[in-house]
Chains A and B, each alone.
Chain A
Amino acid sequence: MAACMDCRLYQRLPYPLSVALFLCLGAAQAQSGASIAPPEQIDRAERAIEASHEAGAPALAPDSLALADAALADARALLARRKGKEAERQALRAIRFAELSANQARYIRLKEAVEEKTAQNARLRRELLLGENGEKP
């Protein structure tokens, strides 16, 4: 009897209404983040942060590195809540900040190396070519 009633309900539901219902469900699913951020973006962000560590960012560019770490943590949290698109955006932010910190660290290292070599050359010139008092030995 009940089954027969279901059949009738199904038969009564108009076709356009069922299509609209299907579309609404699909949209709600997408909005809630069912399209999970590709883990590769998170992997990329992790690798970028690792590279910035290798470049010496923890000591030389801690601020940008902290922003990268925070963005990656956000991305992971969002992914856990199945908010894929937002997670992806945060992962990309993490990559950007990680690259910034790596470049900043490289720049500072090179700057220090240039300063050191400049001083070294001046010392060599003084000791080898000019003598201690700035005169030719």
Chain B
Amino acid sequence: MIRLWLMLALACATLSVRAAEDPIPQSVTQLTLELDALDRESRDGNPAALERLQARQALERVQAVRPRDRQSALEDARVLVRTADYAVKASQLKDQLVQLDRERDAIMVEAARRDAALARKEAERLRLQALAREEEQLLSTDPESGPVAGPALAAPGTASDEQSRRVAEAKAKEAELARLEEELSAQMSAPDDVLKRRVSAGKTVYTVSGTAFEPGKAALTPVAKDALRTLSKKLTASGKAWSVEGHLDAIGMEPTNLQFSRKRADAVLALLKSAGVPAAKLSAKGMGSAKPVASNQSKTGRAQNRRIEIIQK
């Protein structure tokens, strides 16, 4: 009887030692800990939820399957935990990329703001120089015998033209930078719908907002391209003719605005054509700042005025 008890005790001890050495429960514990850590990292926004759930279920399966299938179940769980790990990290990196894009925009806004301030200063300096030159000219004119001989005046006259040209250039640069700054700010603060539809006098009008373009450029953003590709199907299906009109705010000189609004309208027209709208049904023109829809005195108003309208003919 004692021998039997001894044998039983020995068997129990052997089993418990084997259980302690069994690598499977240890691996399961380790993987569970890793998964718990991933869950803690994923509290914000619940990224890679499916991958984490699959890994959790695989770990539970390791405990539930028959001993002979345990090794393969463990391998399965290990792969799924690694997959979840990569998925969570990838999601975090995606967030980081968004942050970096915002940071880049902020740098660009800051740089545009600073350049605009410099351009303003330069324009002011040139304006003051021009005034001083005019005064000098007036003083050098003899009130009795009229202006000094022609050749003597010719040089200041040329210098004055040059000065005016430089002032105009500085002003144009200032306007361009101011618009760039505003468009960058608008894109950062208001990720609104790039495309809106309305009916005016019985005709459909699609308005593409200014944020559809890269700041200060006539290139469409990827989001706007997608929206316009979707719209192109509707335009084609309608069978009607459409006019693409580019509009801008009142910053800067009108000739430049006309040219720039035309460029943007052309960019939209080119995309619609490439998306399948028949060229014969499309036309484009630049309206500059001639047709505002809001006040040009406020930032919001100017943002509304920077737009493209696709009008049914």
Contacts and interface: CB of A to CB of B under 8 A. Distances in A.
Contacts of B104: 117, 120-121, 124
B273 interface: no
A93 interface: yes
B76 A129 contact: no
Interface string B64-97: 0000000010001001101100110110011011
Nearest to A104: B86
B79 A100 contact: yes
Contacts of A104: 82, 86
B43 to A, nearest CB: 20
Interface residues on A, range: 20 to 34
A128 B83 contact: no
A72 to B, nearest CB: 15
Contacts of A97: 79
Given A106-B90, A110-B97, A117-B100, A100 B83 contact: yes
Main secondary structure of the interface of A (DSSP, over half): helix
B101 interface: yes
A103 B107 contact: no
A74 to B, nearest CB: 13
A92 B79 CA distance: 12
A107 B93 contact: yes
Interface in A79-137: 89, 92-93, 96-97, 99-100, 103-104, 106-107, 110-111, 113-114, 117-118, 120-121, 124-125, 128-129
Interface stretch (B20-28, B108-116, B150-158, B305-313): B108-116
A128 B76 contact: no
Contacts of B87: 103, 107
Contacts of B101: 117
B103 interface: yes
Interface residues of B, number: 24
A105 to B, nearest CB: 9
B176 interface: no
Interface centre among B76, B89, B93, B96 (most CB of A within 10 A): B93
Most buried by B among A97, A99, A103, A117: A103
A57 to B, nearest CB: 11
A110 B83 contact: no
15 contacts: A92-B76, A100-B82, A100-B83, A103-B86, A104-B82, A107-B86, A107-B87, A107-B93, A110-B94, A110-B97, A111-B93, A114-B97, A117-B97, A121-B100, A129-B114
Given A107-B86, A113-B97, A128-B111, 10 more contacts: A92-B76, A96-B80, A107-B87, A110-B90, A110-B93, A110-B94, A114-B93, A124-B107, A124-B108, A129-B111
Interface of A: 89, 92-93, 96-97, 99-100, 103-104, 106-107, 110-111, 113-114, 117-118, 120-121, 124-125, 128-129
Interface of B: 51, 72, 76, 79-80, 82-83, 86-87, 89-90, 93-94, 96-97, 100-101, 103-104, 107-108, 110-111, 114
